[in-house]
Structure 1
Amino acid sequence: MPNDDKQKFIDFNQQVIDEFRANHGRVGGPFEGGRLLLLTTTGARTGTPHTTPVGYLPDGADRVLVIASAGGAPKHPHWYGNLLAHPQVTVEDGVFTYQARAEVLEGEEREQAWARAVEAEPGWAAYQKKTERVIPVVALYNSTQGGPGHINASSPGEAIKVVHDAFRRELALIRKEMAAGNGTLGAQLRVNCLTFCQGLHNHHTGEDTMMFPFLTDRHPEAAPVLKRLSEEHEEIAGLVAELRRTLAGEHADPAAARAEVERLTLDLEAHLTYEEEKLIPLLDATA
């Protein structure tokens, strides 16, 4: 790559990184509306950290997938060579920053993940046609002990808002993907839905077992609010369970799945809005 082009690429990446960090994962330009994370690897030769914006695929509660396409270039991207040499990486998803272990998928596991990716976004297949190398698929396993990682917020109130907004963005993406599915329910879309369901379950479990008891102890006057929120968690858990049932089986009904996602969206948005209204002042006052 000529020096001028290389510098333009570096400057563009830095602009995306700065925007991503300033807006809790939201960016414009070519990445707008997509799933993006910041991947920090250790240089294979230099030993210095390098941060790169990378698109990702949800893949369950404990890992995400990234694809070393380099736009179909003949060589693997630098970040891929770095993580081969140093598999411990840092991931920023806009809400949390956490340590992860990188593992290159092989054999059938790689083929299944690649097939899901191509089904969801044909552009990956176009990249593969441009190069003779087999484009790697890499799993990033969260290795942070005791939780999802460091939350990127300056106060407890801001923390709950950025987590809620991340759920809102992911649910909006799922709804968009369902609308674009032309009556089908692809394998990656199912994984996206199930990953969202698991993340929401984990979040509400953490609130029920840690945050709500903490607030009850310090703000007993808030007991009716916390009771209502706990009851809403149970109602939302029922909607999540119904969505899971709708997604189960080889011949899941796309229309039924869309209907369940819409029901979940309406109830969850009302719940998140009420929780922010009532809890952010309490959390920031306690802090």
Structure 2
Amino acid sequence: MAHDFNQQVIDEFRANGGRVGGYFEGARLILLTTTGARSGAAHTTPLGYLPDGGERILVIGSAGGGPKHPAWFHNLVADPRVTVEDGVFVYDATATVLVGDERDRVFARAVEADHGWADYQAQTGRVLPVVALRQVPGPPRFGTADGQPSWGTALRLVHDAFRRELALIRAEVAGSGAGLGAQLRVNCLTVCQGLGLHHVGEDTAMFPALAEHHPALAPTMARLRREHETIAALVEDLRQVVSADGVSADGVAAPVVLAEVDRLVDELERHLAYEEEQLIPILDAPAAVPAERG
């Protein structure tokens, strides 16, 4: 039964760019593929994860509070090279089991964000393992059910991932009470870093390639670059508020952060909608020029 449930989630995840309903609806979810410690076969498992600053993500071997570590954990201990699917990209990663103070700090962060982790820990005599997954350097690979998407579809997939993450962060901030927890601060800083990298990639790769082959796009490119500057300033405002000393204890912090998130979401949605309207028809035209994705 568990296998059937997992396979349904996997199929839905791959068919819908990482979006699923039911038990995992609204959660941060990845598909983790490990190599069986005994069989040597590939095993894929849907898992919730925690952002960790852009360099890595974190997963916890809760097994629903069961008495034994989950099979995927035993697999990655035997072979730490794994594959991660995040709904947009597929990438190879190295798994590291956190130990000592680092494990305890990260787990405390997770509990602060979702007390369900503490409930799972209370149900079992084992220490729930915390694992960091760090991407192995390499070109991005898209993980859509239909294989490599068109350039326009790829752009929309990336945009929709930012939309979903920011909507989730907004809900987390709105529900956080007066102050922000440590994990929520990490979530905000991680999406800030991701947006910055995405726009740098567009400014230095995709936009120049399109402008070279489509001179009539010059006004559009100029507007998009100006909007990138505006968004960068909003991202920096959010980063400054979230990174401020004492923000987790400051009773005004959460409302202030929520206002900054709303400003960023509003401006970013206008920008993404305009970019998609202007560029997707060109990116998906037969003579479109390949550009850097990501």
Q: Calculate the TM-score normalised by the size of structure 2.
A: 0.93
1:199 and 2:197 are equivalent in the alignment? no
Q: Deviations over 1:78-125 (max 9, x none)?
A: 000000001000000000000000000111111111011000000000
Residue pair 2:89, 2:143 contacting (<8 A) in 1 also: yes
1:241-271: CA deviation from partner (whole Å, max 9, x where unpaired): 0111111233222221111101001000000
Residue matched to 1:110? 103
User: Is 1:157 matched with 2:152?
Assistant: yes
Using the alignment, how far apart are the partners of 2:141 and 2:150 within structure 1?
16
Which of 72, 79, 83 is matched with 1:79 structurally? Answer: 72
Q: Alpha-carbon deviation of 1:148? A: 4.2
2:35–2:43 Cα contact (<8 Å) kept: yes
Aligned match of 1:222? 217
In the alignment, the residues of structure 2 paired with residue 95 and residue 121 of structure 1 have an alpha-carbon distance, to the nearest angstrom, of 25
User: Which SS does the other structure have where 2:49 is aligned?
Assistant: strand
Percent sequence identity is 62
Query: 3-state SS of the aligned residue for 1:239?
Result: helix
Q: Once structures 1 and 2 are overlaid, which stretch shifts more, 244-253 or 50-59? A: 244-253
Identify which of 232, 246, 252 aligns with 2:241.
246
CA contact (8 A) 2:81 2:93 kept: yes
Gaps of 5+ in 1: 1-7
SS at match of 1:182: coil
Structure 2 counterpart of 1:124:
117
The CA deviation at 1:144 is 3.2
Residue 60 (structure 1) aligned with residue 18 (structure 2): no
Match of 1:96 in 2: 89
Shift of 1:48: 0.4
**Which of the numbers 149, 156, 162 marks the counterpart of 1:167?**
162
Q: Distance in 1 between matches of 2:214 and 2:54?
A: 32
Structure 2 unaligned runs (5+)? 248-252, 290-294
Q: CA deviation at 1:179?
A: 1.0
Alignment partners' CA distance in 2, 1:278 and 1:200:
20
Which 4+ stretches in 1 moved above 3 angstroms?
147-153
- For residues 96 and 102 of structure 1, the distance between their equivalents in structure 2, rounded to whole angstroms, comes to 17
Query: Could you tell me which of 11, 14, 18 is aligned with 1:25?
Result: 18
1:150 Cα deviation from its structure 2 partner: 3.6
Which residue of structure 1 aligns with residue 264 of structure 2? 264
Match of 1:281 in 2: 281
Q: Which amino acid aligns with 1:109?
A: E
Letter in 2 for 1:140: L
Matched, 1:178 2:173: yes
Residue 25 of structure 1: SS of its match in structure 2? Answer: coil
Instruction: Give CA deviations for 1:7-37 in whole Å, capped at 9, x if unaligned.
Output: x111110000000000000000000000000
The whole-number CA distance in structure 1 between the counterparts of 2:68 and 2:50 is 22
The 3-state SS of whatever aligns with 1:269 is helix
Question: 2: distance between equivalents of 1:198 and 1:149?
Answer: 20
Instruction: Answer yes or no: is 1:190 the counterpart of 2:172.
Output: no
Root-mean-square deviation (CA, aligned residues, Å) is 1.0
Kept in 2, the 8 Å contact 1:42–1:48? The answer is: yes
Residue 4 of structure 1 corresponds to: none
Measure the CA separation in 2 of the matches of 1:195 and 1:249: 16
**Which residue number corresponds to residue 3 of structure 1?**
none
Letter in 2 for 1:92: E
